[in-house]
Chains A and B, each alone.
Chain A
């Protein structure tokens, strides 16, 4: 019988994508599978002790000019409220965040059946978070520019 890791790996490969599989912890049987789609790398974590759950993660780099950890944490909290099945975690000193979707089903086959829907849901959540971070920062920058300009004009 195939391991959970091998089942998931073969499924993603059968859908057209190259997969790098790495054992994370031989004692617990957890593994990480990496693949790319639409230019983004996704990580799938499987566990041999629990074939009914898997975790899908992807990382988004935050533009340098938008790295404001407190405000970005608030943006990720807003994204989490809109996408309650997705967890957002700031990492690497606020230079990126990781979006993770944990899914449970009756079987590995059921998870595979919904796999691209889950990837799409995770991608939508991550994209919304990025847009919130960037849009808010741009709005703030524009507001500051306006205020500075106004204040300069006011003082002349």
Chain B
């Protein structure tokens, strides 16, 4: 079967970004950085029409998990495409775009937009975590 992430590689080349591949028996993965921030793309071998683009961030120390969940909920209501979730005993926050596609080539022309919305969601999340701003 052809590589479902090949079109994502082309989209990353369109954006002028370096990337690395990390495939195993379960999934195909791409890791890359943009403006110094790390992102990943995953395609599972048993579900090739599903593609996830995401980024994970450590929560700052002394953040109230309840407040972080409220902020994540607020973003989930408002933001297009992006799912925001607390992860691993609430010490990390994960921003993901999850798509169902016939081919990853469908994503290529929209990749820049999806990357922007991931970036904006992270920025807004951490801005909103400041006290008194929810």
Contacts and interface: CB of A to CB of B under 8 A. Distances in A.
Interface stretch (B29-37, B50-58, B60-68, B71-79): B29-37
Given A35-B16, A116-B36, 15 more contacts: A13-B18, A14-B36, A15-B33, A15-B34, A15-B35, A16-B18, A16-B34, A17-B17, A17-B34, A17-B35, A18-B16, A37-B16, A37-B35, A39-B15, A116-B35
20 contacts: A13-B18, A14-B36, A15-B33, A15-B34, A16-B18, A16-B32, A16-B33, A16-B36, A17-B18, A17-B34, A17-B35, A18-B18, A37-B34, A38-B112, A38-B115, A38-B116, A39-B15, A116-B35, A116-B36, A119-B35
Interface residues of B, dominant DSSP: mixed
Interface of B: 15-18, 32-36, 112, 115-116
A140 interface: no
A18 B15 CA distance: 9
B17 A18 contact: yes
A35 to B, nearest CB: 6
Contacts, number: 36
| Most B-side CB within 10 Å, residue of A14, A36, A116 | A36
Describe A's contact surface by its main secondary structure. Answer: mixed
Interface residue tally of chain A, by bracket?
10 to 19
Contacts of A16: 17-18, 32-36
Interface in A1-33: 13-18
A38 B116 CA distance: 7
Contacts of A119: 35
A13 B16 CA distance: 10
A36 B11 CA distance: 13
Contacts of B17: 16-18
Contacts of B16: 17-18, 35-37
A85 to B, nearest CB: 20
Contact of B15 (A13, A14, A15, A36): A36
Nearest to A39: B112
A15 B33 CA distance: 6
A17 B36 CA distance: 9
